[in-house]
Chain A
Amino acid sequence: MGQIEIRGLSIDYRKPKSDETFTAVENVSLSIEKGSFVTIVGSSGCGKSTLLMAIAGLIPRARGSIQVDGKEVSKPGPDRAMVFQDASLLPWRSVHANVRFGLELQRWTRDDIDERAMRYVRMVGLGAFADYHPHQLSGGMRQRVNIARALAVDPDVLLMDEPFGALDAQTREVMGDELLRIWERDKKTAIFVTHAIDEAIFLGDRVVVMGRNPGHIRDVVDIDLPRPRTAVMLDSPAFVAYRKRLREYIAADMQSLQMVEDVV
């Protein structure tokens, strides 16, 4: 479960205070095998979040289709769960109650949600912090809660929008390892948005490179590194080659942005 087919997808936003539309994502086609870990990189504003929100069913699309296991996506569903960047935990709920939140919303039976939530709190290593409130946690711990909340509802597809974007480099690495460890257990289809190239290579089976104006897919790079991935691989020749290739894309994108700004 968790096969995703995106065909000819375009997404428009209404420009503020006008009837004109602005195309944020144009003609994106992508298929994602079930159980694979796909990362999406691209400079900011190229439509990564927009694409992810569309897969989540949170925003309508202008053209094209998105199917999960052959079913057209029209709204959020229990087959998909989303991990947001930060500050999406309910500040008045404890860690445990935050993980319960998704279960409550998806109407899991009362009897086992407490226990199930606790199991996922433990799985992300926060067993001792179940009664803490989000403001009492570090950024990394908050993101663990976010991940636990998404996994607890047992989705087929895990959507993550720069979940480690607000973390410092070291915590980020630890979290990446941790995420892979958890993912390897039941291999849910994972789509992970980031703007960090190393992170994209380290985590992904495939890296989708997006460009902007309007947002589109420039390339899809298969990452041929063995799993489990380890920190040593970061310096392997293969990794370095991937890094070089992806950097060039992003650099080109930044340059085109520069040109746009020069013209304006």
Chain B
Amino acid sequence: MASIAVPAPRVRSRWARALERYYGLSVSVVSVLCFLLLWEVAAERGWINARFSSQPSQIWRAAIHVGLTDDFAYHCWVSFAAFALGFAMALAVSVPLGLYLGTSRRGRLFIEPPLMALYTAPRLALLPILIVWLGIGLASKVAVVFLGAVFPILVNTMAGVRSADNRLVTAARAFGAGKLDIFVKVLVPGSLPAILMGVRLGVGRGVLSVVVGEMFVSEAGVGYQIMTYGQAMQFNNLLVYAFTISLFGYALTVGVRMLEDRIRSWRPAS
């Protein structure tokens, strides 16, 4: 028995891991700093027109101003609430529906055509209809976020279930697994990575949707402020809000990715 060589598992020290993590982070930070510096200098020297393209130092000043006087927290909260509600609803619908459609051929045949039609339809074109149905305000925004996030999660969940390894299903059946056992113990855990990938894509879509939604169907929120400052040509203020949204979307995406990495730890590194 001892004659079988066993490869040691990849165990890296805490320090090596920290170094690796901070390596990526520091390169990113340097990259951002270089970009900001170049932008600042270019505007200062008049290579670009600071009035239309703004300037980091001015945005910083605007940020302080916005933060102190602009109900910044309120607008963020309005947007966040719409996003969180819409996204939660999207999750609640897309994951169970995707799991079901992944296992049921009849369900797929029935639901797929209208689903794909909705998926490929430009959702912004539906906005006027949503406004008529739901009015201007929270409900419409939630609907827009829902429509933006629901499809990537649904499609990926479905794909995850359908790509399940048949050999695992056969093995489970050989031990007497019923349909529910196979679903719970093989299909769901097997499609978790695909589901999370869908969630990550859905986050991006959802964040985008809330901003776009607010530009048209809102009287408050980050998207609304972006629209307002855009029309007033106050680009510094506009960019403060735009960056806030980017940061939020980025942080959430990174969060989901970390979850994905944890879930995938059972997989060979690819």
Given A88-B171, A102-B175, A105-B185, check contact A136 B1 (CB 8 Å): no
Interface residues on A, range: 20 to 34
Chain A residues near B176 (CB-CB < 8 A):
76-78, 105-106
CB distance from B173 to the nearest CB of A (A): 6
Chain A residues near B122 (CB-CB < 8 A):
none
Q: Is the CB of A105 within 8 A of B3?
A: no
Q: Contacting B170 at CB < 8 Å: which of A88, A93, A105, A138?
A: A88
CB distance from B176 to the nearest CB of A (A): 5
Chain A residues near B16 (CB-CB < 8 A):
none
Residue of B nearest to A84 (CB): B171
Q: Is the CB of B190 within 8 A of A92?
A: yes
Q: Is A104's beta carbon under 8 Å from chain B?
A: yes
Residue of B nearest to A105 (CB): B175
User: Could you name 29 residue pairs across A and B whose Cβ atoms are closer than 8 Å?
Assistant: A58-B170, A76-B175, A78-B176, A88-B167, A88-B168, A88-B171, A90-B186, A90-B190, A91-B266, A92-B189, A92-B190, A92-B192, A93-B266, A101-B172, A101-B175, A101-B185, A104-B185, A105-B172, A105-B185, A106-B176, A135-B267, A135-B268, A136-B7, A136-B9, A138-B5, A138-B6, A138-B7, A174-B3, A178-B1
Interface size on B, residues (CB 8 A): 28
Chain A residues near B265 (CB-CB < 8 A):
133
Q: Is B177's beta carbon under 8 Å from chain A?
A: yes
Q: Contacting B1 at CB < 8 Å: which of A56, A125, A135?
A: A125
Chain A residues near B167 (CB-CB < 8 A):
84, 87-88
Contacts of A99-155 to chain B: CB distance below 8 A: 101-102, 104-106, 125, 129, 132-133, 135-138, 140-141, 153
Q: Is B174's beta carbon under 8 Å from chain A?
A: yes
Given A58-B170, A88-B171, A140-B4, check contact A105 B266 (CB 8 Å): no
Name the 5 nearest CB pairs between A and B, nearest first.
Answer: A88-B171, A82-B174, A125-B1, A105-B175, A102-B175
Q: Is the CB of A153 within 8 A of B1?
A: no
CA distance A102 to B7 in the complex (A): 27
Chain B residues near A93 (CB-CB < 8 A):
266
Chain A residues near B175 (CB-CB < 8 A):
76, 81-82, 101-102, 105-106, 153
B-contact 0/1 string along A12-53, CB 8 Å cutoff:
000000000000000000000000000000000000000000
Q: Is B181's beta carbon under 8 Å from chain A?
A: yes
Residue of B nearest to A139 (CB): B4
CA distance A141 to B7 in the complex (A): 11
B-contact 0/1 string along A178-211, CB 8 Å cutoff:
1000000000000000000000000000000000
Chain A residues near B165 (CB-CB < 8 A):
87
CB distance from B7 to the nearest CB of A (A): 7
A-contact 0/1 string along B126-167, CB 8 Å cutoff:
000000000000000000000000000000000000000101
Residue of A nearest to B172 (CB): A105
Residue of B165, B175, B266, B268 ringed by the most chain A CB atoms within 10 A: B175
CA distance A153 to B177 in the complex (A): 13
CA distance A106 to B172 in the complex (A): 10
Assuming A90-B168, A91-B266, A132-B9, what are 9 further A-B pairs, CB within 8 angstroms? A56-B174, A58-B174, A88-B167, A90-B190, A92-B189, A92-B190, A92-B192, A93-B266, A105-B181
CA distance A5 to B28 in the complex (A): 69
Q: Is the CB of B171 within 8 A of A133?
A: no
CA distance A156 to B170 in the complex (A): 20
CA distance A172 to B241 in the complex (A): 65
Q: Is the CB of A174 within 8 A of B266?
A: no
